[in-house]
Amino acid sequence: MEMKEIIRGNMATALAAKMARVEVVPAFPITPSTLFPEKISEYIANGELDAEMILVESEHSAMSAAVGASAAGARVATATASQGLALMHEILFIASSMRLPIVMAIGNRALSGPINIWADHSDTMAERDSGWMQFYAENNQEAFDLMLMAFRIAEDRRVLLPAMIGLDAFTLTHTMEPVDYPSQEEVDDFLPPYNPPYTLDVKRPMTFGSFATPDSYMEFKWAQTVAIENSYKVIDEVFEEYKKRFGREYKRVSGFMTEDADVVIVSMGSASGTLRDAVRRMRKEGMKVGAVKITTFRPFPFKEIKELTKNAKIIAVAERAISPGFGGPVAGEIATAFINEKERPLISDFIIGLGGRDITQKDFKYIAETALKEAESGEVSPWVKWVNINPEEVPPGGE
Amino acid sequence: MYEVRFHGRGGQGAVTAANILAVAAFKEGKEVQAFPMFGVERRGAPVMAFTRIDEKPIDVKTLIYNPDFVVVLDPTLMEVVNVTEGLKDGSPVIINTKKNPEEFNLGNYKVYTVDATTIAVENGLGTPMSPIVNTAIIGSFARVSGIVKLESVIEAVRELSPVKKEENVKAAEMAYKAVKGL
């Protein structure tokens, strides 16, 4: 039986963690994710959740405690954002290499400096090489569903890797939206208790996260890579099963009006709904525009991106992160997907909505028009365009 | 799509007002979205909150630039903030004030007033210096807009008021009746 409630994005991920019957939640509060540990502690205090909450002195410790608890066999979830995620950085790699299926909600927020608490993907983009699976939610419903599914995917024996669910700061974390959720019985049926192949156990001593010499280190990394490659199939299976059970369809990448589109705009996260609205408006004006939303960024959906954009003249990537001295990380990865194809669309990169700057339909129209001009001339230059920026604030030469 | 912008001061409950409206409309089978102006929640500072209501699922995640209705929870904001900025031509504005609508010159916007502060204080919601007027003003909003029924507002108020549920319900009912400018 489905229930429906109007809740904030942070409440959606906390509800999913509760319904997943998480056993340990180590957490350190940070804007805009603080409501997650607040809700978890409320659930525990109300007797709705039987879990151990570990209040730590930093995010580095939160992730370290998560690693320990997960290695001991517990189902573990936490949440953080921005500087908090950055402080976890070194432990993220340990979690993934120890093959611990920790699930973490990230309130996607800009990295300092300047200090800024608003929506931006630079925090999770900086962790794309950490070995974690990455999912990005468009709305609170997706935040709930992806968080719940992440446990199943992460704990699958073919995968055994941690996963992070990105939900844009404020635009999702603090916005109230209706969210459908299944009953506890249905969730229990979908997500059985975590059954780890190996755990820390005094009766069966074992070493976790041990020293690896040049003789074995590469094989560890190779095994980890095989695992995340296995996750393509596991994610698709879990998405399919979720649809059968709960009626909501998920894809690692979804297309909207892409079939005959000359320009396909790619987005991730909360701007994806605004993008669809913009596409509908531009279609009414006769512009052949389509949209692609990336839900699963790790593992990267090479095949699906190519399939959805194969008829386009140009792909315009609208991304909320910048790798200074390179460009947008998402555009770089999409370009890689096409690198060995003889026939390929042009690819153009647009930086948008950094530090919470609002992303509007007008911005997407500017992107579509700019990209169509590039397609016409056959030249994408410059490679990186900044959308809705005040050039007067940036003197030429960057002095 | 119907879009509402609330102007208040931190602590008056503008964000909760936006949430109450969303929950009330949701109870009538509408799709809804409610959000604060992100990251400015300081007591006494001018704040904004927003509600979207639609028959179809709401895809858009932008801020609201051209609302259909503006609600002003604090009369002193009229001198500080341009509350009608972007408001659609000829649309309604409801102001919490002792004054009559004629005392405001807001061009061709339709002005309604309600003394939500007195109603709130009479019902023990906050103090005269720091009244919590959100539940009252939502009652007036229901009357003026016709977008939600008073019964749905009352249900939502009961659900979202952490304390003094019946006092908040009473305030919504009283402000529904007391609105001027109809």
Q: What's the pLDDT at A61?
A: 98
Cβ proximity of A107 and A167 under 8 Å:
yes
The mean pLDDT value for B140-149 works out to 97
What 8-state DSSP symbol labels residue B173? H
- Rounded to the nearest 5 percent, the helix, strand and coil shares of chain B are 35, 25, 40
Contact partners, residue A13, CB within 8 Å, separation at least 6: A36, A79, A105, A143, A144, A147, A165, A167
> CB A229: neighbour CB atoms within 10 A?
12
The mean pLDDT value for A101-120 works out to 97
Same domain, A175 and A290: no
Q: Which of A178, A359, A361 sits opposite B32 (nearest CB)?
A: A178
A394 has a pLDDT exceeding 80: no
B28 touches A at CB < 8 Å: no
Q: What's the pLDDT at B40?
A: 63
How confident is the model over B51-60, as pLDDT tens digits? 999 999 999 9
Query: Which of the listed residues A215, A246, A277 is the one where a domain comes to its end?
Result: A246
How confident is the model over B155-178, as pLDDT tens digits? 999 999 989 999 999 999 999 999
B10 φ, ψ (degrees, to nearest 5): -50, 125
Q: Identify which has the larger pLDDT, A291 or A392.
A: A291
Ranges of H-type helices in A126-209:
140-155, 184-190
Q: What's the pLDDT at A1?
A: 63
Mean pLDDT of chain A: 96
A353, closest residue in chain B (CA to CA): B62
How confident is the model over A244-274, as pLDDT tens digits? 999 999 999 999 999 999 999 999 999 999 9
CB burial of residue A384 (10 Å; 0-12, 13-18, 19+): middle
List chain A residues with CB under 8 Å of B36: 170, 174
Cα dist. A244→A77, A153, A188, A248, B101 in Å? 25, 16, 16, 8, 56
pTM of the predicted structure, to 2 decimals: 0.96
**How many folded domains does chain A comprise?**
2
Separation CA B135–CA B170 (nearest Å)? 9
B33 φ, ψ (degrees, to nearest 5): -155, 135
The mean pLDDT value for A322-336 works out to 96
Please give the domain boundaries of chain B with CATH numbers for all domains: 2-178 (3.40.920.10)
Same domain, A383 and A361: yes
Q: What's the pLDDT at A397?
A: 64
B22 touches A at CB < 8 Å: yes
The mean pLDDT value for A53-71 works out to 98
Same domain, A230 and A301: no
Say which CATH number the domain at A341 has.
3.40.50.920
Rg for chain A (alpha carbons), in Å? 21
Separation CA B66–CA B56 (nearest Å)? 19
Same domain, A277 and A333: yes
Say which CATH number the domain at A38 has.
3.40.50.970
Q: What's the pLDDT at A311?
A: 93
B16, closest residue in chain A (CA to CA): A176
Same domain, A224 and A293: no
Q: What's the pLDDT at A171?
A: 97
The range of the structural domain enclosing residue A290 comes to 253-398
Query: Which of the listed residues A246, A277, A295 is the one where a domain comes to its end?
Result: A246
Query: Which of the listed residues A246, A263, A296 is the one where a domain comes to its end?
Result: A246
